[in-house]
Amino acid sequence: MSSEIRERVREFLAAHPPAEVDRLDFLRAQFDAGLAWVHFPVGLGGLGAPRALQAVVDAELAAAGAPDNDPRRIGIGLGMAAPTILRYGTAEQQHRWLRPLWTGEEVWCQLFSEPGAGSDLAALATRAVLDEDGVWTVDGQKVWTSSAHTARWAILIARTDPSVPKHQGISYFVCDMTDPGVEVRPLRQITGEAEFNEVFLTGVRIPDTDRLGAVGEGWRVAQTTLNNERVAIGGQATPREGGLIGIVAETWRARPELRTAELHQRLLQHWVDAEVLRLTGERLRQQLAAGQPGPEGAGGKLGFARLAQQLTGFEVELLAEEGLGYDDWTLRRPELVDFNGREAGYRYLRAKGNSIEGGTSEILRNIIAERVLGLPPEPRTDKDVPWKELSR
């Protein structure tokens, strides 16, 4: 089937020469040809082919100089919204949202975390009330929302029934970020940039046709989103000595005056850890190709966060005072920041967020212990208590 895919790509390129076709027109045509997500169904950007063949498609397109869809800018849509829409969306929803999501015409963000519901996400307090005309009115506050300042759409979970236990009274929606009731406020980070935002929802109107999954089944739908998020963060395809370990190793080789025996030993250990994480990610991607991602993705994300913080700390220590400096990022556009292309000081500060975003490392350890290893769960006294009776 690989040869058939290659031939299909070459036929597509012959009909759409990258040097002659407008970038957006090319991306739209690529989606329509089923070469966006080959494992998606026909008509939704795919061919119903094995997921592994996407690498074949991408390699052929890259060799021909084809444009990409700027995946870093639209990562939330690609890695989190799209798989959820595919699994739970109606045919109408899938055809409405998936194409402009993949081409980058519409940016997506995630309205999950709240000031009082971060690690305990199911405790969220944002309310959605259904009117007689079939429209939900949403009020509440979300926080740590990446790309909210550029997003057209948001995946949103809100409480629709406060009289049942917290996990049971949640529903999942797609929110129009241009609604007049949506207010986005930037959050300044330690690096100086404002990559995250807090979002205030006041009387936001969401038609029931923009709900994903059944009413009250939002937690189940959200698990698909969260599992895909962890895979997207921790299961990225990285070549040997790619990413941060490659940057550190390059500095080590180019700057012999910085070396010490103790640093050498630590670098070797980091290299081994990076290789283990790379191979674990490959195993995870193979498992993903066979079905939906499971809680095992938490391990990849946990390992990624830990290694990123260790490597950036090592890099700063290796460079000594040279590693402490970095540019002022206060006025930069965070969606254009290339993490690996910045200075060591920036990477060190930004990596501090890796153990929080996408699920805190503490919560991920619980997920691994309970859902992967089958260890006894932590005692939960609020599991069967109606949400409205919980202390907050």
Residues assigned a catalytic role: 229
Instruction: Judge whether 368 and 239 are in contact, CB under 8 Å.
Output: no
Task: Give the Å distances, CA to CA, from 382 to 55, 221, 378, 387, 391.
Answer: 45, 21, 12, 8, 10
Tokens found for residue 253: 């080789």
Any bridge partners for residue 386, and if so which?
Answer: 165
List the structure tokens of 134: 């079939």
Q: What does the buried/exposed string (b/e) look like for 207-236 if buried means 16 or more CB atoms within 10 Å of the residue's CB?
A: eeebbbbebbbbbebbebbbbbbbbbbbbb
Helix (H) or strand (E) holding 282: helix 261-289
Of 278, 257, 355, 273, nearest in space to 309 by CA: 355
> What are the backbone angles phi and psi of residue 130, rounded to the nearest 5°?
-85, 125
Angle between helices 297-319 and 243-254 (to 10 degrees): 20
- Supply 159's token pair: 């409480």
Q: Which residues contact 283 (CB under 8 A, 6 or more apart)?
A: none
Bridge partners for 156 per DSSP? 111, 173
Q: Say how many CA atoms lie within 13 Å of 152 toward its Cβ.
A: 10
The CA distance from 218 to 340, in Å, is 36
